[in-house]
Structure 1
Amino acid sequence: MGTAILDRLLVHCILFLIVSLLLIPSACAAARHTNTTVDCLPSDRSSLLDIIHGVSFGMGIEIHDYPKARGPPVSWKPGSNCCGWEGVTCDPKSGHVSGLDLSQRGINGKLSASLFNLTSLRTLDLSGNFFQGDFPQVGFENLTQLTRLDLSLAGFSGQIPVGISLLTNLISLDLSVAMVIYSPDGLYMEGYYLSNYSQLCHPSFRTLVGNLSNLRDLRLDGVDMSSNLDWGSALSTSMPHLQVLGLSDCNLPGKAVLLYLISFIFKHYFLIYYIVYIFGVAGLLPTDILTSHANLTLLDLTMNPMLSGNLPDFPSNNALQSLSFFGMNLSGNIPDSISNLKHLTTLGFYEFGLTGMIPSSIGNLTQLTYLDLSENNFTGITNSMVS
């Protein structure tokens, strides 16, 4: 009796094993179907094809260390699934195009207005191209879901579109038309590239950033801001989460530095990087930048010949890793408190006009890997200074 029961149990186990093995291929097929790239919407595919229709793809921007042009996106073919195209990302549920990267393609031609039909875009990168004409003044306001927008060195000129000021979800915005090319150590300016002329006038800088409360990264290098007398005040009252700021060669009005920059610095305690390459600003160097930013790791105020004053006393509570001041009109001594910058790896006080003795305390910067104090007016070197 017991043997019969065992036999039946064995038969059931064998049958269960066979059925399980038969079901495995079906389960795998279902899994493969689930992971298949979503089909894009025909309307989005049509808009994408309009963007590359009638434009040419050339060599791209040929400047030192700038990535070479990638050429045309060969996978962009009518009738195919645009969610699988180069540079295209789709929402896995809706199939809408949510990301578009056409950077460094060497595109030469007009930007199609069909771009602004892609209203589900969250990231858009058109940098490193040669789009012709002014920035489109109408259309960006439709892309309300954008979190990242990069139009740097894209070839556009003229007035920054007011519609960008309405993109309240933006985390990163780069509208730079200029690029400063540095030496590998990051201290010497080896070249300068200006893709075109653009300006902030209508809208003003205040209008552009007033509603962009989520911005972490803002770069406007080369954009003419000379008419924005209150740019510093606008900084101090907007973009509370800003971490990276690039305002190289922006023709910033000098008075704003004295009246408003300090207010901005005191308010933004959480800055990770404070990058302001302000060419030609008239005014004193704000000496409390470091004391108000304990989390600052990189500070670069290079090529500001109109910035004058003395180096500040360096606070002990800091996270600075790179400090680069060159081509400025500073004077006085290097303070002994330079030794407080214990995390510093790069220090460049090049072409300043600094005087006096180089303090021996600079030898306490044990993490330092690059040091440049050339083109100053030092009177001597202490024996204990690092070589």
Structure 2
Amino acid sequence: MASIGWVLLLFIAELSALATSGAHGDGNFTLRCQPDQAASLLQLKKSFSFFHYPSALESWQDGTDCCLWEGVGCSNSSGHVTALELSGHGLYSQGINPAIFNLTSLQLLDLSMNYFGEYSLLQFRFERLPLLTHLNLSHLGFQGQIPTGIGGLTNLISLDLSANYDLGDVSTYDIITGDRNNVLYLQDPNFKILVANLNNLRELYLDGVDMSSSGEWCHALAKSLPRLQVLSLSYCKLVGPICPSLSNLHSLTVINLEGNFGIPTALAPFPEFFMDFLNLSVLRLAATNLQGWFPRRTFQSKTLRVLDLSWNQDLSGPLPNFSNTSSLETMMLDGASFSFGKPGSFTNFKYLQTLSLDVNISSVEPQSSLGIHRSLRHLGLTQTDSTSNLGLILSGIGDVQNLQSLELSDWRFSLTSFSSLVKLKSLRRLSITRCTFTRSTLSTFGNLVGLRSLEVSDCDFNGPIPSAIGNLTNLKSLNIDNCDFLGPIPSSIGKLMNLRSLEIF
């Protein structure tokens, strides 16, 4: 009898597991969602067109449990819909269907990476979703003023309204030129009003949103968002300086302010207090008009993985300093005036995978330092000093057998240079810009047989395209742009059977 009892208990447990295994709810049991909730979701589905077939919402069928539908999460106690996650589902819609605002129990709403047309958000009643903790409406195509109602969602922990500055026709050009017809913007309310009541916010992403009317953005951050951990305001046309009051936001792990060309140069030294943030993992300050001398200090964070100070032409000094326990993986310094203080400047970067910098060395060559970094995967080098020898530099990285991508700008190539490149057996992508070559150098292109992508632009060849390119049988992409080649395209290109993209002009 005892054995039968154990079998019965195991059977009941198995039935329970089967009953809950497909649940999207926030508890252990699946409950059918409320009929009115299902009706609102089906009305929402009818408003969508789909870029893919079959659509990602095939499970949304009348008469079935909507708590089991794709992207839907429910409360196990009430059956109300609490989560709607439809990011990147290939949805097309003319704005947001009002039915979504009937789901008043929503705590998480993510519609990002679809296309909802070039509509205004002002018509939508976000105040009807007071329980929202996570709102992501990024990359949907919306335009115009961000509505006041979003600033009233006091339970928000994460807010992402990033505009479309890296997608399609709504581009970085629109952000820089200030075409507000193609972007979201903050004017009335401005940024200060938007965040005034969002004291619980941990993550804020407004990349590409025009904030040129929000001169007090920095002080508003420090005052209203004391718990902020992620700050991303790239390409926002910020007009005020990076203020010292940001030093109070000790919980920041990600800071992304890149592309804000409007930060006044007279008020833009490097914010040294960022170096004291112990939890910092990402610091992106590219193209923010930083100027002056970079501090001779060590970054205190042991978790910093990404440092991007590129394209700050008036920022100069020695290479940033890190402790022996640094976790740095990506360092972008190109377009700034950093210099090597001594050989071995890179010895603390044990985990460095991506490095981009201008080489402006006269007395110290970095080849010995670069060569020790076997962890490097991506390297970009731009010559700003005619005394720098590319052959010596590349010979220093010849032992970096895991290097996959190499970008070289403004160099003069020789046979020595290319013989060093051939040693990089793992090299898959080579980009060469504004460089000069000798006739003898061109024939060595055919030795880079591991390449999958070759980009050559704005270079001075003054000769035919080398037929040796036909040896690069692994190429999937070949782009030769504005290089003054003479003569016909070699027939050997016909051997590139794996080629998927070819541009020669």
Report TM bin, short chain: 0.7 to 0.9
Matches within 5 A, 1:1-387: 37-58=30-51, 71-110=55-94, 111-132=96-117, 133-179=119-165, 196-253=182-239, 256-257=240-241, 261-264=243-246, 266-281=247-262, 282-283=264-265, 284-304=268-288, 306-315=289-298, 317-319=300-302, 320-334=304-318, 338-340=321-323, 342-343=325-326, 344-354=328-338, 357-360=340-343, 362-370=345-353, 372=355, 374-375=357-358, 377-382=360-365, 385-387=369-371
Residue type at the aligned position of 1:364:
T
Residue type at the aligned position of 2:46:
H
Question: Percent of counterpart pairs with the same letter?
Answer: 35
Deviation readout 1:280-324 (Å, 9 max, x if unpaired): 1333133313333122122111233x3322222233533223211
SS in 2 for 1:236: helix
**Alignment size in residue pairs:** 347
CA drift of 1:93 comes to 1.2
C-alpha distance in 2 between matches for 1:207 and 1:117: 26
CA drift of 1:55 comes to 2.6
SS in 2 for 1:99: strand
CA drift of 1:127 comes to 0.4
Which structure 2 residue ranges, 5 or more long, are not aligned?
A: 21-27, 176-181, 372-505
State the TM-score, normalized to the length of structure 1.
0.80
C-alpha distance in 1 between matches for 2:329 and 2:213: 37
Taking structure 1 as reference, are residues 250 and 23 closer, same or farther at Cα in structure 2, changes over 3 Å only? closer
CA drift of 1:358 comes to 4.1
Deviation readout 1:208-238 (Å, 9 max, x if unpaired): 1111111111100000000001111101101
CA contact (8 A) 2:235 2:257 kept: no
Taking structure 1 as reference, are residues 136 and 79 closer, same or farther at Cα in structure 2, changes over 3 Å only? farther
Deviation readout 1:95-119 (Å, 9 max, x if unpaired): 0001001211232222111111101
C-alpha distance in 1 between matches for 2:228 and 2:215: 21
CA drift of 1:122 comes to 0.9
SS in 1 for 2:362: strand
SS in 1 for 2:333: strand
Taking structure 1 as reference, are residues 197 and 379 closer, same or farther at Cα in structure 2, changes over 3 Å only? same
CA contact (8 A) 2:298 2:322 kept: no
C-alpha distance in 2 between matches for 1:26 and 1:275: 52
CA drift of 1:166 comes to 1.1
Taking structure 1 as reference, are residues 340 and 116 closer, same or farther at Cα in structure 2, changes over 3 Å only? same
C-alpha distance in 2 between matches for 1:21 and 1:385: 67
Residue type at the aligned position of 1:322:
V
Residue type at the aligned position of 2:257:
V
SS in 2 for 1:379: coil
CA drift of 1:72 comes to 3.9
Taking structure 1 as reference, are residues 78 and 338 closer, same or farther at Cα in structure 2, changes over 3 Å only? same
* Mean CA deviation greater in 368-377 or 47-56: 368-377
Residue type at the aligned position of 1:267:
N
CA drift of 1:84 comes to 0.8
* Mean CA deviation greater in 212-221 or 337-346: 337-346
SS in 2 for 1:124: strand
* Mean CA deviation greater in 74-83 or 278-287: 278-287
C-alpha distance in 1 between matches for 2:281 and 2:151: 29
C-alpha distance in 2 between matches for 1:102 and 1:70: 15
CA drift of 1:330 comes to 2.9
Moved over 6 A (4+): none
State the TM-score, normalized to the length of structure 2.
0.62
* Mean CA deviation greater in 369-378 or 293-302: 369-378
Residue type at the aligned position of 2:66:
C
CA contact (8 A) 2:140 2:164 kept: no
CA drift of 1:146 comes to 1.0
SS in 2 for 1:374: strand
C-alpha distance in 2 between matches for 1:211 and 1:238: 7
Deviation readout 1:72-108 (Å, 9 max, x if unpaired): 4111111211111000011111100010012112322
C-alpha distance in 1 between matches for 2:63 and 2:201: 38
Residue type at the aligned position of 1:85:
W
CA contact (8 A) 1:177 1:222 kept: yes
SS in 1 for 2:193: helix
Residue type at the aligned position of 1:49:
L
Taking structure 1 as reference, are residues 29 and 215 closer, same or farther at Cα in structure 2, changes over 3 Å only? same
Taking structure 1 as reference, are residues 371 and 22 closer, same or farther at Cα in structure 2, changes over 3 Å only? closer
Taking structure 1 as reference, are residues 331 and 50 closer, same or farther at Cα in structure 2, changes over 3 Å only? same
C-alpha distance in 2 between matches for 1:367 and 1:139: 51
CA drift of 1:21 comes to 5.7
SS in 1 for 2:159: strand
Deviation readout 1:137-161 (Å, 9 max, x if unpaired): 4411111111111100012111111
Residue type at the aligned position of 1:128:
M
Taking structure 1 as reference, are residues 290 and 315 closer, same or farther at Cα in structure 2, changes over 3 Å only? farther
CA drift of 1:17 comes to 5.6
C-alpha distance in 1 between matches for 2:54 and 2:142: 20
Residue type at the aligned position of 1:308:
Q
